[in-house]
Every structure is written in C-alpha cells, then in structure tokens.
Amino acid sequence: MTSRRPATLLLVALVLLLCSCRQQASVPEADNEADTVVTAPPPPPQNPNPADTPTESKLRALGLVDIHDLDSSILVNLAYASPDNFLGCVLYHDLHKAFFLPQLATKIAAAQSSLRRYRPDLTLVILDAARPLSVQRLMFHKVQSTPLNIYVANPVKGPGLHNYGAAVDATLADTNGNFLPMGSDFDHFGPESHTNNEQELLSSGRITQQEFDNRRLLRSIMRQQGLLHLHSEWWHFSLMSRQKANQTLTPIDI
C-alpha cells in the first residue's frame, strides 16, 4: 500500500497540471472576444446625383455628359436654376445638373484634377453649362429692349455656345463652398468683368491683388486644357469659337 501512494499522487498531479494548462490556453481566446468591437452597419450612402429630370434626360439622350459622371468633386451651382442672377428669375425649372459635350466635360474634369494637385484647398464651381434654345429665347426676350441685349446671344441670329453644350461659366471656391473673390459678380456686365484690362483694373484699385490672382489661376487651369476664354467675361470658357460651333455642331432644341 505504501509503495502505490507515490504513483497515485503523481497521477493526480498530472491531471491537475493538464486542467491548469487547458484553462490557461483558453484565456487568450476570452480576451480576443472582449477586444472585438461589434459596430452597426454603416448607413446607406447618400445619392449625390439624383435621378434625371425630364429636361436632364433629354440632354443625356442627346449625348451630353453630366460633369458629375466624370468628377463629383466639382461643385455645381447653376445661376439660372435660382432667381439669384442678373434677370432675377428662375430659367432652369428642371435643370440642376451641368451637362456638356463629351469633349468639353473631359477638359473640365482635367482642369479640376490640375487645380486639386496645385491647390487641394480649392475646387471648380460650374455656374452655367448646356442651355436649351427654349431658355435662350426666353432670356433674350427679357433683355431685347434693354442695354443688356448686347450680352445675350439672339437665337434668331444663331445659337450661342451654351446652346451646344460647348461653353462653361465657372469660378473657384474653397472646400467649404465659399466663392473666391473675382472682382465682380458672375454676369456683371461692365469693365470690371473684362480680362483684357485687368492690369489697369488692378492699378486703379477697382480689383484687388487677390482678385487679380484668382482670375489668373482660373484662367490658367482652363487654358491648360485648350479652352478659349471670353475677354468680356472672366467666368466664360468654351471648346471652340461660336463660328466653328455654328458650322459643326447641332444646337440643343428641346
């Protein structure tokens, strides 16, 4: 009897040791479970590009491109979709997206990429894009008996570049959407909006150095893509001349 007790004690010790090892092995498992953070599923993404309106569907069917299909970081704030414009009324009742000819849309997206590389704190803002002839007729009707008629294309004499989707009105904004000062408002029809007298405007104090530099920056990124600018409107850029557009393009008559 005395000779078997050490063996029995040794067996009990081995059993206790095995149990202890199994408990220790299970500790990290429990710790891992405690460290696991269970999060709720993310909310469904917001739709930054709502469904097309009837007018927008027609523009898309004509082969025009919504700029947000190429670069959704570009801000779109169409001036004629609100009464905050030189006419003081809404002209785009169901047009809120910026459509362009594919060639122009590609160049605008490239200009945005160039701007963001050079100034990641800034973005392009689209103020006007493709404009149906029906809107052009209404616009000219509102100004034809005023001194402003020289600034609005008479569709009877031929469509303007916006009526082909071949022009863009643009400015710059910071990442909070605040427009940079440019020395004049969009659609201000006066010498302060001209680009061929900017040094004189600066020297006379009619625009500031900051406004002068902002215009130059906007013009630089757009002209790098081969776009043409209008000397009487710092915001206006086009794919080609109006004469060439009249010869080669089909106006948006919807």
> pLDDT tens digit string along 194-203?
999 999 999 9
Lowest mean pLDDT among 5-19, 51-65, 86-100, 211-225: 5-19
At 202, which CATH number?
3.30.1380.10
Query: Does residue 48 lie in a domain region?
Result: no
- Same domain flag for 21 and 64: no
- Same domain flag for 91 and 205: yes
- Same domain flag for 170 and 215: yes
pLDDT band of residue 32 (cuts 50, 70, 90) is: very low
- 137 versus 7: which is more confidently predicted? 137
Query: Does residue 74 lie in a domain region?
Result: yes
Digit-coded pLDDT (tens) for 44-78: 444 557 899 999 999 999 999 999 999 999 999 99
Query: Does residue 218 lie in a domain region?
Result: yes
How large is the average pLDDT for residues 174-182? 96
How large is the average pLDDT for residues 209-238? 97
- Residue 127's domain comprises 54-248
Identity of the amino acid at 206: R
Predicted pLDDT at 24: 45
Q: Give the whole-angstrom CA distance, residue 121 versus residue 179.
A: 12
- CB proximity list for 172: less than 8 A, separation 6 or greater: 115, 122, 123, 124, 125, 179, 180, 182, 214, 217, 218
Of the candidates 98, 31, 45, the one whose C-alpha atom is nearest the C-alpha of residue 71 is 98
How far is C-alpha 148 from the chain's CA centre?
30
- Same domain flag for 13 and 76: no
- The tokens describing 195, both together, are 């680009």
Model confidence at 246: pLDDT above 90: yes
- Same domain flag for 70 and 184: yes
Query: Does residue 49 lie in a domain region?
Result: no
Model confidence at 1: pLDDT above 70: no
| Residue with token string 């409107």 | 233
Looking at the structure of the chain, the number of domains it has is 2
Query: Does residue 126 lie in a domain region?
Result: yes
- Same domain flag for 126 and 12: no
- Same domain flag for 11 and 108: no
Lowest mean pLDDT among 16-25, 75-84, 181-190: 16-25
Predicted pLDDT at 148: 86
Query: Does residue 253 lie in a domain region?
Result: no
Q: Give the whole-angstrom CA distance, residue 127 versus residue 79.
A: 5
C-alpha distance from residue 66 to each of 47, 83, 108, 120, 252 (Å): 15, 23, 11, 23, 15
- Same domain flag for 78 and 152: yes
Model confidence at 6: pLDDT above 70: no
Query: Does residue 18 lie in a domain region?
Result: yes
- Same domain flag for 87 and 11: no
- Same domain flag for 59 and 20: no
User: Could you give the angle at which helices 209-223 and 102-118 cross, rounded to 10 degrees?
Assistant: 130
Predicted pLDDT at 23: 45
Q: Give the whole-angstrom CA distance, residue 202 versus residue 198.
A: 6
Query: Does residue 83 lie in a domain region?
Result: yes
Predicted pLDDT at 8: 47
Q: What is the mean pLDDT of the chain?
A: 86
Cα angle vertex 63, ends 61, 68, to 5°? 95
- Same domain flag for 241 and 152: yes
Digit-coded pLDDT (tens) for 118-167: 999 999 999 999 999 999 999 999 999 998 888 898 998 899 999 999 99
Predicted pLDDT at 150: 86
Predicted pLDDT at 249: 98
The percent of residues above 70 in pLDDT, for the chain, comes to 81
- Same domain flag for 26 and 69: no
